[in-house]
Chain A
């Protein structure tokens, strides 16, 4: 392991601290802007030398950008595979930038600037992917932060921009605003009451889409859905954000209502199911990641329903991230095979939960 995550301004995890609005249901808000520099082929088609010049131009612009003064540059192209996976598990770099997608091995010039709740990926699908991450449901603050960085960089390096099409991107699905605003939301109530399909169909009718925990191409696990705008052209950033805010408020209300219905109509069955999950997490000696996620999903619901006291949402959020394979290997200081990882995961989860000792209310 060559990377020292303690060097990151906030360890890269301030978005987990459960301080934002609706943080019991909404884990985090992320807004990313796709930008490309004028005069270069897009990252996939660019030559190695071009990508290195892009990195150098961005580096110069970042050094003069007030919002990124405290940021740290990580050259992803020179990191070992486990370190790249670690950054991806922490949601700080995309799968493509980390070179974890077999179709896209890590590119020369792949790098990321990490600041407090802010990241700038370089030589991803687009030359620049600016992203702001916030705890809970906070689209306005996330947009203000990423817009500030965008203005600071765009006034120093010329972006590729078209009068009609807006900000030009490698994939036409991102052109225009280049903005993808997404909210990571936990919807176990709607899943258990079997309302979720109706809600997801409604999202799509409203021009939104959903993905799993790690964004594009990832599966939904633990009832965590990443909901985002589908289109990027034909509406302003403000309109897209208003739409997302409006729809998500409705989804949050429906999730809260579903939870009330569950307790009212199936109280003891639900209570038993959730406490069983807590029991498994507190006593298991081997846990696969999917199994841990499924039980953590139940325990999170139990905390939301106030069935389990003394356990914080922050701890549950941290468990989601720190019980992943590369994080366990990082904390153990060695690479782990699957069965090792399952044992270490069970021990880590057990210790984290018993340290906060929930009572049976």
Chain B
């Protein structure tokens, strides 16, 4: 969930308190806005894998695109640090540099040597479900205010319009 104040970062603090009119309200704040309100958050990540990722990131120069959100699921590295789980398959591409290093530390390698896989060709009937997926991604992009991506997705959806 985005911060109620800056609308840019993921919220890390939920604050329930009465406002001036005496009504109890719940607010969601990111680490930065929470600090501006005098609330100190624990910057250490909650998940052990997240902690390792945190270490990896400190040592690596940031690669382009890694500071942002995954264009598919809108997950951020902060989400990963908190849960130890990625949002979707595209996150592997979005955060590739940091992840490759993490995988080497966890597995001793980043190279898959097991079963090879070739995905089946999509059937025409599947186009309908592709369209539904694109609509879903469009909604996510709009929610995350990624309007450039949203425009691209809208074009792709138009191509599939019956």
A interface list, Cβ under 8 A from B: 36, 38-42, 44-45, 47, 49-50, 53, 57, 125, 147, 150, 154-168, 170-173, 175-177, 179, 231-237, 239
Question: How many chain B residues touch the partner (CB < 8 A)?
Answer: 36
B85 contacts A176, C-beta separation under 8 Å: no
Q: Please indicate the chain A residues that have their CB under 8 angstroms from the CB of B114 in the complex.
A: 166, 176-177, 179, 235-237
Chain B: CB-nearest residue to A237: B114
What 17 new A-B contacts, CB under 8 Å, besides A42-B73, A231-B108, A235-B114? A42-B88, A45-B88, A49-B136, A154-B117, A154-B120, A156-B120, A159-B119, A165-B92, A166-B114, A171-B85, A171-B86, A177-B112, A177-B115, A231-B107, A233-B110, A233-B111, A234-B109
Cα–Cα distance between A185 and B130 once the two chains are bound (Å): 46
B119–A38 touching, CB < 8 Å: yes
| Cβ of B60 to closest chain A Cβ, rounded Å | 16
Residue among B92, B107, B110 with the most chain A CB within 10 A? B107
Does B106 belong to the interface (CB within 8 Å)? yes
5 closest A-B pairs (Cβ-Cβ)? A234-B109, A166-B112, A160-B89, A158-B119, A233-B107
**CB of B55 within 8 A of chain A?**
no
Closest residue of chain A to B122 (Cβ to Cβ) is A158
B71 contacts chain A at the CB level, 8 A cutoff: no
A-B contact pairs, 26 of them (CB 8 A): A39-B130, A42-B86, A47-B136, A57-B129, A157-B120, A158-B122, A160-B89, A164-B110, A164-B111, A165-B103, A165-B110, A167-B117, A171-B49, A171-B84, A172-B99, A172-B106, A175-B103, A175-B107, A176-B113, A177-B115, A233-B107, A233-B112, A234-B111, A235-B109, A236-B114, A237-B115
- Report if B151 contacts A (CB, 8 A): no
Contact of A233 among B72, B109, B130 (CB under 8 A): B109
Instruction: For residue A113, give the distance in angstroms from its CB to the closest CB of chain B.
Output: 20
A41 CA to B139 CA, complexed, in Å = 13
Question: Which residues does chain B contribute within 8 Å of A160, judged by CB atoms?
Answer: 89
**Shortest beta-carbon distance, A29 to chain B, in Å?**
19
The dominant DSSP class at the B interface is loop
Tell me the interface secondary structure of chain A in the complex: loop
Task: Considering the complex, give the chain B residue whose CB is closest to the CB of A171.
Answer: B85
Cβ-defined contact, A44 with B85, below 8 A: yes
Q: Which of B83, B87, B111 contacts A41 (CB 8 A)?
A: B87
Closest to A147 in B: B115
Assembled-state Cα–Cα distance A179/B115 (Å): 11
| Complexed CA–CA distance, A310 and B108 (Å) | 49
* B119 lies within 8 A of A161 (CB): yes
What residues on B are CB-neighbors of A175 within 8 Å?
92, 103, 107, 112
Residue of B93, B112, B119, B132 ringed by the most chain A CB atoms within 10 A: B112
CA distance A234 to B122 in the complex (A): 30
CA distance A150 to B117 in the complex (A): 10
Set B99, B112, B122: member contacting A176, Cβ < 8 A: B112
